[in-house]
Amino acid sequence: MPNEINSDSSELDIYQSQDGNNSKAESIKSKIRFTRFLLLLVAAVFALILLFVNRDKLNLDNFRRLAAKIDIGISSTNSTDNTVINYDYNSDSVVSVYKDGIARVTSDNLVIMDNAGTQFQSIQTGFNSPALVTTDKYVMAYDRGGRHLIVTNSFTVVFDVTFDDNIISATMNDDGYFAVITESEAYKNKLVVYNSSFNEIYKLNSMSRYIISADISKDNKHVVVSSYYVKDDSAVAQLNYYSFTEEESLWDLDFDDEIAVSVICNDDDTVSALFEWGICVVDSKGNEKYRFEFENKILQDFKIPSSKYNAVALSDSHSGNSTVTVFENSGKKVSDIEINATAVSLDIIDDRIAVLTRDKIYVYSVSGNLICERENANDAYSVLFTDKNAFLVASDSDIVYNLTN
């Protein structure tokens, strides 16, 4: 009997040991499952934050671009210093930044590609005088002085129209609203505004004024135009501000001097207008707020974005050294940057400025501190920021990408 009791006790100890091991194993498995769940939860939260930060870039076009790159083994993040994209020379070509690459229109075609040279689309144009507008969503190309206009994304032409009259100019904002100015036999000229669904939402048949340029407000409810009318054999320049729900302008502002060649609706609801004599900023009620005059200096290049800072490159002569002046819409001068060369082109993004000369590219902060400088091909004609840390330089035969750091 004692042996039987000991045997039962031994078996009980074994069972208890096995139960203990099973309990430890289950505890380990439970910890592993919890750790996996925690990692998945953190990954999901990170993914949601990433999606929220990049919500403006989440669209079918961007996904198709990514899929096209993956399909041929090219990543959009692999752009390196001095990446070069070559193309055939065309004297009428216009290049602009589009997403992580470029759009280039010539008299023959419109080509869209990324910064590694991956071509997504090539469209036959047949333009006599090609013009180009790029936004975060679309590329708009048209024949200045002709009648044909197209809007496309990376892969598909989404709008194609031939107007009854010749196109004077066109503009598009980041929401996809755009305005087209055309000639007219019955009127001085016409302005047509389309929404992001490519439906016509406003038309202005101008009977008394010639419209030169236009821009759409950030709320997509108004349009400002530069125009002029003739009085006593003299041209009177104006800025006119229209609501899409009204036929008459909300305000008009006369200028005794030159006609504004370009107008911009700023993020703060002001309007900036470029004249031969300088830049004028007007508030949302049509009151002149600030003037920056060129003081008889030669304007070599300018950049008036809708954001906070504006920049102009001025010189005492066409081939003289440049002074790049940075100022805010409020009229506050931020800096004067002296460059011992002629400015060929400049661009501004956030708080950085790139200046292209015949020999070099200089990148400055808006306060005038030099961030970097690079050698430059002699035939380059344009510098454009792709983002805050990278820019491209366009020449007659290639695009060269560079990084600022």
Phi, psi (deg, nearest 5) at residue 195: -90, -175
> Taking the mean position of all CA atoms in its chain, how far away is CA 162?
26
Residue in the block written with tokens 């496309």: 152
Of residues 32 and 295, the one with the higher pLDDT is 295
Tell me, yes or no, whether 210 lies in a domain: no
- Residue 211 above 70 pLDDT? yes
- Does residue 333 form part of some domain? yes
Range(s) of the domain holding residue 348? 296-405
Q: How far apart are CA 273 and CA 239, in angstroms?
A: 8
Say if 328 falls within a structural domain. Answer: yes
Q: pLDDT band at residue 78, thresholds of 50, 70 and 90?
A: very low
- The sign of the torsion formed by the CA atoms of 343, 272, 261, 145 equals positive
- Beta partners for 227? 211, 238
Q: Is residue 402 part of a domain?
A: yes
Greatest mean pLDDT among 71-80, 170-179, 372-381 lies in 170-179
Q: Judge whether residue 245 has pLDDT over 50.
A: yes
CATH code: domain of residue 395: 2.120.10.30
Structure confidence by residue, pLDDT tens digits, 186-203? 899 999 999 999 999 999
> Is residue 387 one of the residues assigned to a domain?
yes
Cβ 226 vs Cβ 245: under 8 Å: no
Give the whole-angstrom CA distance, residue 324 versus residue 311: 7
* Residue 390 located in a structural domain: yes
For residue 81, tell me if it sits in a domain. Answer: no
Look at the chain and report how many structural domains it folds into. 1
- Is 50 exceeded by the pLDDT of residue 77? no
Residue 339 counted as domain residue: yes
pLDDT value at residue 36:
75
pLDDT tens track for 360-388: 999 999 999 999 999 887 789 999 999 99
Q: Tell me which of 81-90, 317-326, 356-365 is least confident.
A: 81-90
pLDDT the model gives residue 361:
94
Structure-block tokens of residue 77:
């993040």
